[in-house]
Structure 1
């Protein structure tokens, strides 16, 4: 791409990154195609510990911390205390991903909802954006946000709704982040949604290693694959890829406060860091 942009949601640990050298190499590959920053996101406690560490290895990496809704069947007070401690780290830019998942049956819906409400409160107490996972649960997610009172900034990661859902979210002031599915042939409704989101509420992401965009669907994803999604969005919106990339970067910088992040103390030594443990 001709201008830099930000991958607003990726999972570097799930992409195979283990230590600081792996993270630096992944970001070097991303930067080579114009993806100059990423937000790496946790889905369980082990991942939460890892992403915070990774955000201190490379200035191009920020973190988001929460317990994924499919992990909330057991969510103890000790778990809550650790998530809160990790989320308060200055290089953690969002509480997420949290929300509701009515597709998988790994966690009861009532347990997911209790955890979602707790994460909403945490985001408000920390003054950080809320990063929402919403799979087959649009009405329930919107209801809980309305009942709890949404934080100042809400990001619907990998937005999967239709145009009507998008209008509701835009009117509420939420940010909508689009990933590889917007390029899939069977996603006409999603493309209608992507076409109507204002520039200032649009983000782009890979959700790597998942959801690789067309024409490489089915292969492993990584932040360097983001330009395919950017080009797909540009086609849908009738603008240049450079405009989408630049607008998404500006929005990510504003929502996540990327320009205000404290710098990494020093460059990591080769092999620094430990593998994610469970």
Structure 2
């Protein structure tokens, strides 16, 4: 199994959290200069950790003169497999939409330049995210992180070649929309994620999340689709390997 999206910089005993996954892979995403450097450190230290580097829309005011050089100077790193977490977030700040869009597009162009996957954050901005990806994301391997849209919107992103990140929210009782998406969309279009330390799935909701809890996301998908958890792991792992071009670096 592969946790395609998490953040591990705030764990006191990160080694225990990582080792709990055994030989299963973890993709850690950066959001700003500090976390991007931490991602690189974790990739260098742990065999089963891979990374993506990016500037999150909420971190836009923390951009420094070094922000883009940190990202671009590490694009040849064998274990840096994508640009992310990038995208749009209108939930907290609706005043800087244009600035967010410019940052998003700039990072999509970096991904194109180095042929990297992109992990896309979209909160209260799904239509703008779609339009930008439609125009600027051609040819990119796109992962819509923590997908929370409708079946119709899921299909629109899939038409762009995107995969949908499914995480702990799926296990929540009131998550009817994403449960419908999982029911109606083919399994091959999903990748598993935890977004650790956030969005902890049931039965541990309210506690700090960790990559191993991806098991409970897979279990819920299997329950909704009436298939085995082994099939969920096999299919989503295959999709993640293809999406993040992991085939030659999994050993």
Bin for the TM-score computed over the shorter chain: over 0.9
**How much does 1:27 deviate?**
2.3
Is the Cα contact below 8 Å between 2:117 and 2:140 reproduced in 1? Answer: yes
Map 1:128-277 to 2 at 5 A: 128-261=116-249
Distance in 2 (CA, whole Å) between partners of 1:114 and 1:237 is 39
Structure 2 SS opposite 1:72: helix
Report Cα offsets for 1:227-256 as digits up to 9, x if no partner. 111111111222111111111111111111
Distance in 2 (CA, whole Å) between partners of 1:11 and 1:254 is 22
- In the other structure, the counterpart of 2:7 is 11
Map 1:95-114 to 2 at 5 A: 95-105=83-93, 108-114=96-102
Structure 2 residue 24 is the aligned partner of structure 1 residue 28 = no
**How much does 1:151 deviate?**
3.9
TM-score by length of 1: 0.85
Is the Cα contact below 8 Å between 1:6 and 1:37 reproduced in 2? Answer: yes
**How much does 1:28 deviate?**
2.0
Stretches of structure 1 lacking an aligned partner (at least 5 in a row): 264-278
Stretches of structure 2 lacking an aligned partner (at least 5 in a row): none
Mark the CA change 1:255 to 1:149 in structure 2 (over 3 Å): closer, same or farther.
closer
**How much does 1:122 deviate?**
0.5
Of structures 1 and 2, the one scoring higher in RCO (CA 8 A, sep 6+) is 1
Mark the CA change 1:79 to 1:206 in structure 2 (over 3 Å): closer, same or farther.
same
**How much does 1:106 deviate?**
8.8
**How much does 1:225 deviate?**
1.1
Mark the CA change 1:16 to 1:194 in structure 2 (over 3 Å): closer, same or farther.
farther
**How much does 1:262 deviate?**
8.1
Structure 2 residue 43 is the aligned partner of structure 1 residue 55 = yes
Distance in 1 (CA, whole Å) between partners of 2:203 and 2:124 is 25
- In the other structure, the counterpart of 2:53 is 65
Distance in 1 (CA, whole Å) between partners of 2:7 and 2:96 is 24
Mark the CA change 1:45 to 1:74 in structure 2 (over 3 Å): closer, same or farther.
closer
Is the Cα contact below 8 Å between 2:5 and 2:26 reproduced in 1? Answer: yes
Is the Cα contact below 8 Å between 1:49 and 1:86 reproduced in 2? Answer: no
Deviates most, 232-241 or 120-129: 232-241
Is the Cα contact below 8 Å between 2:151 and 2:185 reproduced in 1? Answer: no
Report the RMSD for the aligned CA atoms in angstroms: 1.8
TM-score by length of 2: 0.94
**How much does 1:107 deviate?**
7.4
Distance in 2 (CA, whole Å) between partners of 1:13 and 1:151 is 31
